[in-house]
Structure 1
C-alpha cells in the first residue's frame, strides 16, 4: 500500500487501482513517447543528410570530440617507462583540463547545461514532433459556455483539439509537409512564444500543440525534451543514420493515444570514424 498527503497533517492510502493507474501513466508517458520521438527523428535525419551534417557539426562544436574517439586518449605508461614518465602520463590522464597528449581541453560533459547549447538539436526535435506528433488529438472539457469561430460550446461539452491539423496548417508553417528544423530557430516564427534558450518557438505556444497547451499541458515536456536530446546527442557522437533499402514513408493512423507504426521504421547506422 502507499500513502499520499491530502492537506496539512492528513494522509490517505492509495488503492491498488490508483497505484496501477499511476504506474501505467509513468510507463506510457516516460517510455513510449520518448522512444517514439527518437525513432521518428532518426528516420528523418537518415532522409535529410544535410540536416544531419549540420547537427553533427553542432554537437562536435559544442560538446567536443568524443572522449573515446581515436587521438583523444592520454598516453598509457608501459613497463619500460621511467617512473617520472609514468607519473606524468597518469597526471595527464586524470587532469580535468586535458584528455589528449596535446593537452587539449577535455570535452564538456553531456549534461543538462551542455545540452542547452544544442539549438539545432532542439529545433530538430520540435520539427519531428510537429510533423509526427505523438498524439494526433487531445480532449478538453468546457468549464463554461463560450463560442469559438461562431460555434457555440455549451458548458460541460467535450472539445477535441486537432494537434496534427494545427501543426500542418500552412498559414502557421509554410510548406508544412517538409522537414525544416530552421522553423524553430531564432529569427523564424517570431509571432510564437519564445524561450530564453534559443529565442525560437516556445514549448507552450498555442500554435505548437504536441505537448498540449495551458495549465494542463504535458507535465513532463521539458524532461522529455532533455531526454530525447541527451540520447540523440550521445548516439550522434558515435554514428550517423542512413536510409535503409526499401524505406517507406512513415505510416501512421490518426487515433487517440500513441498510434503504432503499421510497419517498422528501418534505418541503418554507420560508424562516424569510417566516413
Structure 2
C-alpha cells in the first residue's frame, strides 16, 4: 500500500525542486540578458552578489565608490546620496519619478496601501486620505494621544517603583497601536505596560515577520526579481514569498471588513452616532461614490466613468493596514531609540527635563506648549537622523533624464539611501555622535534641506508626519517628567556597550533594548 506521509513528503520535495529549478532558469536569463553598463550614463558601475541585505550594501557602496554608483538588479539601479540629484528626483522633476520602483507582492489588501500605489491611483488615494491628517483632525486626535501617553507614563512609573526594566520596543509599540486603534478605527487596545499584548497590538507588531531562515534568504534573493516574486505570490499562490504574515492579514481583513459593513449600514440608516475617525472618512467617501456610480448607471446605458474620488472596500482595508504599520514603525521605533539615546546621554536627558519643567504647566501639554519644546524636538530629529524608520526609499524613472554629467535612463530605479545621507560627514560632522544641537535654527539654516529626509521629501512626503511628531512629543513629556531612564550593568545594552543593528526589515537592535528606570526626586 502507498504510504500517505511518504507521498506527501515526495510531493513537497518535488514542488521545492521545481521552485529551485525555476529560480535557476530565471537567474540565468536575467543575469545574462543585460550587458548594459552604467559607464555609458556617466556613473561608476559596480557588481554585487545576489544575497546582499540592502542597507549594509548601500553603506559599503558609498564608502568604497563614492556618493553615486550604478548596478544592475532586475532593472538598472542608481544608488545616490548626491543632494543635487535628489532634489531633481524628489522635488523639481517629481512628475518623472512619481512612482516607487519597489512593489508589494502580496495577496493581502496591504499591497493597495498608498505607499505602494502608482500614477493616478496614488494621486486619487492620497487626495482622499489628506483630510484625515488636517490640523483640525490632529487637534481632535490629540485627546486620545494624551490618554495613551498618560498610560505610558504610568507604565514607566510602575517599572521604577517595582525595580523592573522597561522592555522598550514592546512598551512603545503598545503605546503607538493604542493610539492608532482608537483614532483610526474607534477600537480599544489597552495593553500599555502589560506583559502580554492584546490581539490588535500583537497582529500590528507582526504584520511583517520572518518565518524562517530559509524564507528570509529566499525572499532576500527574490528582491532582485520583482516580477518573478510577484508571479510566485499572485499566480502560484505561494505563501512564503509574501511579506505579510497570514495571521495578521486574516485578522485585519476580517476585522476591517466587518467594520466597513457595520458603518455602511449605520450611515445608510442615518445614524447620528457615526465615528469620527480615519476609517469613517474613507467609508463615507466609498458610500458617496458608490451612490454616484449607481445613479450614473440608472441614467445612461453607457458604462459610467469611474468617479475621480472613489475608493473600493479592498482599498479602504489597504489604507487601514498601511496606517497601522506606519504608525507602529514611525512612533514606536523612534520613541524607543530616543529613550535609549537619552539613557546613553544623561546630560541631554536632564536638559530635556528642565525644558519640560519650564514650558509645560498642565498635566496634559497643550499644543502651544508642545510647539515651544524646541530642544525636545531637536532630540527627536537627531534620533530620526540616526535611526530613520525607513533606511531607504526608491523612485522609478518614467523617461530618461540627464543632470549634469549623469543620465538616469527610462525604467531605471533610483535608490535614495536615507540612512547614508543622514550619516554623511559632509552633512553632519562626526555623524555617529548623538548631538541635538545639529537641529538648532543656526545649524539647520546652514544645511541643505535634503540632508534630513526621515519622512521622505516632495509630494510623496509621509502623510502622517505631523501625527508622528505629536505622538513622540507627548509620549516623551509624560515619561521624562516622571522618571529617568538609565543604563547600568544589568540593562540591555549595559552601560558603555554599543548596540548592533539589524536591517532585515526595519531598523532594529539585534538584542531588544531594556532600560532601568528611576523615579525623579522632583517631578514637574
| Structure 2 length-normalised TM | 0.39
**Residues 1:113 and 2:368 aligned together:** yes
Match of residue 508, structure 2, among 244, 255, 260: 260
Q: Which residue of structure 1 lines up, in the alignment, with residue 382 of structure 2? A: 127
Q: Which residue of structure 1 lines up, in the alignment, with residue 352 of structure 2? A: 55
Q: Report the CA distance shift for 1:153/1:51 in structure 2 as closer, same or farther (over 3 A).
A: same
Inter-partner Cα distance in structure 2 for 1:259 and 1:167: 14
Match of residue 224, structure 1, among 463, 468, 484: 468
Q: CA RMSD of the aligned region, Å?
A: 2.5
Alignment of 1:167-182 (within 5 A): 167-182=422-437
Gaps of 5+ in 1: 65-106, 194-204
Aligned residues: 220
Q: Which residue of structure 1 lines up, in the alignment, with residue 392 of structure 2? A: 137
Alignment of 1:26-41 (within 5 A): 26-41=323-338
Instruction: Decide whether the 8 Å contact of 2:482 with 2:519 is kept in 1.
Output: yes
Q: CA deviation at 1:230?
A: 0.9
Q: CA deviation at 1:30?
A: 1.2
Q: CA deviation at 1:26?
A: 1.1
Q: CA deviation at 1:156?
A: 2.9
Inter-partner Cα distance in structure 2 for 1:13 and 1:44: 42
Structure ranking higher in helix proportion: 2
Inter-partner Cα distance in structure 2 for 1:165 and 1:13: 37
Deviation track 1:245-266 (CA, whole Å, cap 9, x = no partner) reads 25242332345x5233321112
Inter-partner Cα distance in structure 1 for 2:453 and 2:311: 35
Higher relative contact order (CA 8 A, sep 6+): 2
When structure 1 is superposed on structure 2, of 261-270 and 165-174 the one drifting more is 261-270
Q: Which residue of structure 2 lines up, in the alignment, with residue 42 of structure 1? A: 339
| Structure 1 length-normalised TM | 0.72
Instruction: Decide whether the 8 Å contact of 1:123 with 1:184 is kept in 2.
Output: yes
SS in 2 for 1:230: helix
Q: Which residue of structure 1 lines up, in the alignment, with residue 414 of structure 2? A: 159
Instruction: Decide whether the 8 Å contact of 2:329 with 2:389 is kept in 1.
Output: no
Inter-partner Cα distance in structure 2 for 1:148 and 1:33: 33
**Residues 1:239 and 2:486 aligned together:** no
Instruction: Decide whether the 8 Å contact of 1:40 with 1:128 is kept in 2.
Output: yes
Q: CA deviation at 1:108?
A: 7.3
SS in 2 for 1:273: coil
Gaps of 5+ in 2: 1-260, 262-282, 294-306
Q: CA deviation at 1:183?
A: 0.5
Q: Which residue of structure 2 lines up, in the alignment, with residue 23 of structure 1? A: 320
SS in 2 for 1:190: helix
Instruction: Decide whether the 8 Å contact of 1:244 with 1:266 is kept in 2.
Output: no
Inter-partner Cα distance in structure 2 for 1:162 and 1:36: 19
Instruction: Decide whether the 8 Å contact of 2:333 with 2:389 is kept in 1.
Output: yes
**Residues 1:250 and 2:499 aligned together:** yes
Q: Which residue of structure 2 lines up, in the alignment, with residue 273 of structure 1? A: 521
Instruction: Decide whether the 8 Å contact of 2:400 with 2:407 is kept in 1.
Output: yes
Instruction: Decide whether the 8 Å contact of 2:501 with 2:507 is kept in 1.
Output: yes
Instruction: Decide whether the 8 Å contact of 1:146 with 1:153 is kept in 2.
Output: yes
Q: Which residue of structure 2 lines up, in the alignment, with residue 99 of structure 1? A: none
Inter-partner Cα distance in structure 2 for 1:171 and 1:47: 25
Deviation track 1:8-44 (CA, whole Å, cap 9, x = no partner) reads 955656133x233222111111123201001000000
